[in-house]
Amino acid sequence: MSLPRVVAVAPGSPAERAGLVPGDEVLALDGEVPRDVIRWQVLVDEAEVELEVRRGGLDRALVVRKAAGEPLGAEVSSSIFDAVQTCDNACEFCFIHQLPKGLRRSLYLKDDDFRLSFLYGNFTTLTRFTEADLERVVDERLSPLNVSIHATDPEVRARLLRNRRGATSLRWLRALLDAGIEVHGQVVVCPGVNDGEVLEDTLVGVLDRYPGLATLCVVPLGVSRYAPEGSLRAHTAAEAAAVVDRVEAWQDRFRRVLGRRLAFAADEYYLLADRPFPEAEAYEGFPMHEDGVGMARTFESEFTGRSPSTTGPRAGFFAWVDGAPAEGYRAPRTAPGAVRLRARRGAPVAVLTGAYGARVVQPLVASLGRDDVRVVPVANDFFGGTTAVTGLLVGADLGRALAGEPEGHRYLLPDVCLSAGRFLDGTTPEDLPRPVEVVPTDGAALRRALEV
Ligand code: SF4
């Protein structure tokens, strides 16, 4: 267990008034050693908080006095102070198993921790969930949570997770729903394994046993060039179309029985099947936007100005948890203090994006009727396979694409491929052969950047 270490104190905050300084290690809050930032938040919510801190090897006591519910104004170095619960599954489709060697260590962390689900929207299979976890989720109302379902048939699920507990762990899903916890489910579909009749059975199982699920997103597996030998393969266009048809047929059934669509096929399926995206209303408020469901439609409505607000990243409930940085799990996209390039007025503009992103952005850019703006789709050779989403673009591929592009143009780079200012291969935008302007990955931001 590591101690929460204070990394920032807001000027004028209760934490500063009490004498807390960056570098302090917090031993206890009101006599309790917090396990994570969720518990931290509960404890610092009080009007008076006693802190035991360690500074320069010496322990001291501080007392914070503030209004109940007022933020403490201190940021700590991580969100989980005891160990992150790691995953004990061995899914063949796991993208972490398909990563090349030598990337930063945090990318290889296979977490299966309901706290990260609550804080950042990570998915949990519940195979390591316990009665005590359930009690905590219910007592502290840690809602919503995201749960990987994959199949409701116990044997099929255990086979997919390669874990015998996969056969029984959905009992926790039932318990969470019974306790009124909002749960979003996910099915990663592997062709020939859990599509077709297995997917049909899963949708029947959801209606039968888990109709209280808030949503169910159906996403295709990703296959990189590093995929281990085995039965793993990408969908064909016909298989993708069959998944879309099945999900849409089930949306009608769910609407008749439950009054809502419940299940949604990921945008990637519509691209794979070469089908138009459903209308924006069909996404029922885009609850799974961050998981690639409805992203194309939101981007479009932001770009055209039909949507009043931008979506951007929504890291679970992290947004309202005081003092919980996503460091190590979901870091901010741009590095702190990153230098923004001043736009070169009048220069031709190129929008850099992945192969899928290009299919969404190209028609929007074309609708502007400007011959000074073009889209540059960047192939993902680094991961290879079916990897085509913009979020997995790396500096090596962008560098190769930019090297063949003219100097003096404006190159717009969506921030979704950055984490704390770095690409997944460890390089930074400054390593690229042409200067790029990093823009937030939403339609309104792209539109604004093109209006400069
Ligand atoms: S549960 Fe998730 S992290 Fe664990 S092996 Fe399966 S896909 Fe990978």
Q: What is the mean pLDDT of residues 103-129?
A: 92
H or E stretch covering 148: strand 145-148
d(CA 363, CA 273): 18
Structure-model confidence comparison of residues 287 and 127, the more confident one: 127
Atom number of ligand 1 nearest to Cα 88:
4
The residue whose CB lies within 8 Å of the most ligand 1 atoms, and thus the one to mutate among 84, 86, 95, 96, is 96
Q: What is the mean pLDDT of the chain?
A: 90
Q: What per-residue confidence (pLDDT) applies to 310?
A: 54
Q: What is the mean pLDDT of residues 340-365?
A: 86
The residue whose CB lies within 8 Å of the most ligand 1 atoms, and thus the one to mutate among 84, 85, 86, 87, is 87
Query: If you measure from the C-alpha of residue 439 to the centroid of ligand 1, how many angstroms do you get, rounded to a whole number?
Result: 31
Atom number of ligand 1 nearest to Cα 127:
1
Q: What per-residue confidence (pLDDT) applies to 338?
A: 52
Classified as helix, coil or strand, 211 is coil
Return the residue whose CA atom lies nearest to atom 7 of ligand 1: 94
d(CA 61, CA 111): 34
pLDDT band for position 210 (cuts 50, 70, 90): very high
Q: Judge if the beta carbon of residue 165 lies within 6 A of ligand 1.
A: no
Q: What per-residue confidence (pLDDT) applies to 343?
A: 55
Query: If you measure from the C-alpha of residue 452 to the centroid of ligand 1, how many angstroms do you get, rounded to a whole number?
Result: 43
Q: What share of the chain is helix, strand, coil (3-state, %, to 5)?
A: 35, 15, 45
- pTM (two decimals): 0.90
pLDDT band for position 324 (cuts 50, 70, 90): very low
Q: What per-residue confidence (pLDDT) applies to 326?
A: 45
Q: Judge if the beta carbon of residue 110 lies within 6 A of ligand 1.
A: yes
Cβ of 211: how many Cβ atoms within 10 Å?
Answer: 12
